[in-house]
Each structure stands twice: as C-alpha cells, then as structure tokens.
Amino acid sequence: MIKGTLLIIDDNKSVISALEMMLQYEIEKIISITDPSRIPEKLRQYEIDMVLLDMNFMAGINSGNEGLFWMKEILKHDCNISVIMITAYGDVELAVKAIREGAVDFILKPWDNSKLIATLNSAWKLRTSRQEALHLKKDNLYLKKEINRSNEKIVLGASPTMINVMNIVRKVAVTDANILITGENGTGKELIAREIHNLSKRNNELMVTVDMGSITETLFESEMFGHVKGAFTDAKDDRKGKFEMAQNGTLFLDEIGNLSLQSQSKLLSVIQNRYITKVGSNKPVHIDIRLVCATNCNLHTMVREGSFREDLLYRLNTIQIEVPPLRDRVDDIPVLATHFLRVYCEKYNKGNMRISTQAQEKLSNYHWPGNIRELRHSVEKAVIMADSTVLGPSDFVFNTLLKGAISSENTTLDEMEKKMISEALVKYDNNMSAVAAQLGITRQTLYNKLKKYDL
C-alpha cells in the first residue's frame, strides 16, 4: 500500500466512485472533490502527495486548459506534488504539453487498472525522492552553516586567567564528560564550547548549537527529539531533532537555565537513557553525543529555589568551567580588539587599519558590561564609521548607562546631560538621528557632546 495521500478531482461522480473503489486498498488516504475551485482549500487542509486531475470540467469544452490551469496552481503550492492528468480525449499534443508544464504522467479514460496503479506507484516514488532531496538540501545548508562556524578562528585571549581556563579545556576535551560552562553574557562561552569540540575525538563530526531560551515549551520535544509526519497539524514531513543532528558529534545547549521544569525532566530522561523518541513515534532512537551546556545563571541557587532540578544539574556539570568577565582580564582586551579589527577590516574592505595607543587605553579602562560581545560590536561600529586608517578614542562609543543613579542634590548640569545622552544612546541603539530628535538638538551638536563626554 502507498503510504501517502491522493487527491482526485473530477466533475463526474461515477468516475470518482470507480477510482475510490479500485484504489481503497492501494493508497492509505484518498480525498475526492468534483469542484476544482475547492483545490486550494484541500491543499491547505491536507498534506497532498499525489493528484489525479481531470483536464476538462466545463461542458462542451475539451481544450484541457482548465486542467492545465489547476495543475499550475497545485504546483505553485508545492512543486514536489506528483500530478497525473486524466482525460477521455487521447490528444498526444495535449499530453506532451501537460508533462512539459509539470505533470508526471497522463492517463486516458477509460483507464487500465493495472497501468493506473503502476503510474500511481511511480508518482509516489517520485514524490518521496523529491522530498528526500529537499530534506537533504536543508540538512546540507545547516551542515554548511555549522562547518563554517567551526572553521572560524577562535581567539580567547592570553591573560593568566584565560591560560588557566584553556588548560582545563585541553584536559577535559579529550574525554566524553558532560561539561557546564558558566559566566556572564558575552564572555565567550560558545567559543569555549567550540574549542572543546575542536580538541575532542569527535571533531570530525558536527557541533550542533541550540539556544534553549528561544525554544518554547510546546516546541521543545519537536525541536530537540524530532517528529514524524502527521504527528501534529503542521508536521508535513519527518524531521530530525537536534539530538539526532548531533549524532556522534557535540550538542551544545546554550542558556540551559531558561528551561522549564517540564522540559528539564524530558532532557534528563534522554541524558540518562541515551535514546530519544520522536514526537508521533514509539520507536526509540539511540543517541551518541558529547553534551556541553552553558548558562549565565547560578544553577545551584536555582536548585535551592526549586526552579532547576538537582539531578539534572549533577548530570550536566561533571566538569564546570567558569569563564571570567572581560573586566577581570584586561590583558586580553588589546588582543581581542586587534583580532576583531582584522575580521571587520576584511569584511568591509577597509584595508589595513590600526587602533591608536590612546584608543587602546580607552578600551582597557572601560568596564565592558557586555563583555567580549560588546567589544566586538564596538570595534565593528568603529571600523564602519571611521574616516581614517587609525582608530582614535572618539571612534569608540559605548552603549551603557552611567553606573548607579546620580544623586540629584550632588548632580552637576554636565553630569545630568551626560546621563541623558547615555540613556538615549541605549534606548535608540546608537541611532544618532533618533537620539538627536529625542534630546532636541542637531546631529552635529550631539557629536560635539559625545566627544566632550567621551561617550
């Protein structure tokens, strides 16, 4: 039996009845309509694999144009549907035209039963091969993206603090121990995870990255474990989950502290049992992955508060690596800034640029609440906006509020103005026109004040 769905469209009810009777044991699901205007409705309602489409619906008109029109509409919806045209008129030229424009075959009325079944079997095989090719293309795009990310040069710094972190990384990378990477946002936790993968025995396979904070509760199982076709309304095809994509490689779960207790329970079960079950299936799939997780949360505090499972925490942090904030490793700032400068000079075709000594001092003296991520963005913006090959202090504008509130009784006019400008820069994400409009000044005046306050 063909495990697909067939849509039959013919204005002759006796033809539909005959087809349904003959095909009921040959095809898993059959949908029939006599009015072709209902085709869009059925395409939205069901996942159609094959179509038997009459070429003529209007009485007295045998041109086949109406059938060709609806065939094109079906293929606009899904170009991989196998459309078979069916007509009582043996016009070879019309048959060639239909196939040239997208039909997979052409059947004449009255049909030969065995030939029709053979044609439908061929159409089903073509449909499944097209779907497999589409899935392979999507997988290849994902693989290409992950491989490109894996090939990026990883620069983490050379301060004593980071040397100690990298010593731990080298020791644990060669094992298959689960690793928990902790630290503030933007400290480079994903880069540490990628370095662990690159130094591991699994480095010839993929490292699949998942932002757990972006996965909703309802989609957790489908995203992580995959689903089979028909498992739910929008499950039009079988789909691999992230665990299966990472098979034999590394699975990196970022922002693990954002998981709900229900999702934590499902994740724990997979880690313990080493197999997944796809949504809509009862067949277990064995998994062999290296698990690395990261979070900016204090999971031990969350355990005490009851928002994170203690048994899951013990499974995740066989080894825990704490990545220090950038302000605690000032020696790394010039190294990272120079690396990002090379990256963005190449990206934006800016040639050879350098950061002046004064600008380097400004970067080293800043407290970097956004850590490496903020430094990277600051260098990128400086490269884009610079008019000179040497980046000076004024080329670096930081998007942060002043630390702490300013007491109104001790506040000078300059301090208040600086605070207002800083807040506006954050609010409008450095959009100078919006900031100037908010403050009621011209862009030139704004630039002068940015320079004055070293913002």
Q: Which long-range contacts (CB under 8 A, 24 or more apart) does 163-166 make?
A: 165/192, 165/321, 165/322, 165/323, 165/324, 166/195
Condensed to tens digits (0 to 9), the pLDDT of residues 392-435 reads 999 998 864 434 434 444 456 677 888 888 888 887 777 777 78
- Classify 325-396 by CATH class: mainly alpha
Q: What's the confidence (pLDDT) of residue 404?
A: 41
Question: Is the fold of 325-396 the same as that of 397-455?
Answer: no
User: Where residue 147 falls among pLDDT bands split at 50, 70, 90?
Assistant: low
Q: What's the confidence (pLDDT) of residue 282?
A: 87
Condensed to tens digits (0 to 9), the pLDDT of residues 335-387 reads 999 999 999 999 999 999 999 999 999 999 999 988 998 999 999 999 999 98
What value does the mean pLDDT of the chain take?
Answer: 86
Supply the CATH classification number for the domain 2-130: 3.40.50.2300
Determine the Cα–Cα distance for residues 177 and 189; give it in Å rounded to an integer.
17
Q: Assign a CATH topology to domain 152-323.
A: Rossmann fold (3.40.50)
Determine the Cα–Cα distance for residues 454 and 362; give it in Å rounded to an integer.
9
Alpha helices in 199-260 (DSSP H): 220-225, 242-245
More confident residue, 443 or 183: 183
Chain centroid to Cα 296, Å, comes to 21
Alpha helices in 34-112 (DSSP H): 39-45, 65-77, 92-100
Least confident of 14-28, 69-83, 149-163: 149-163
Second CATH level (architecture) for the domain 397-455: Orthogonal Bundle (1.10)
Furthest-apart CA atoms within the chain: distance in Å: 96
The full set of domain ranges for the chain reads 2-130, 152-323, 325-396, 397-455
Determine the Cα–Cα distance for residues 200 and 198; give it in Å rounded to an integer.
6
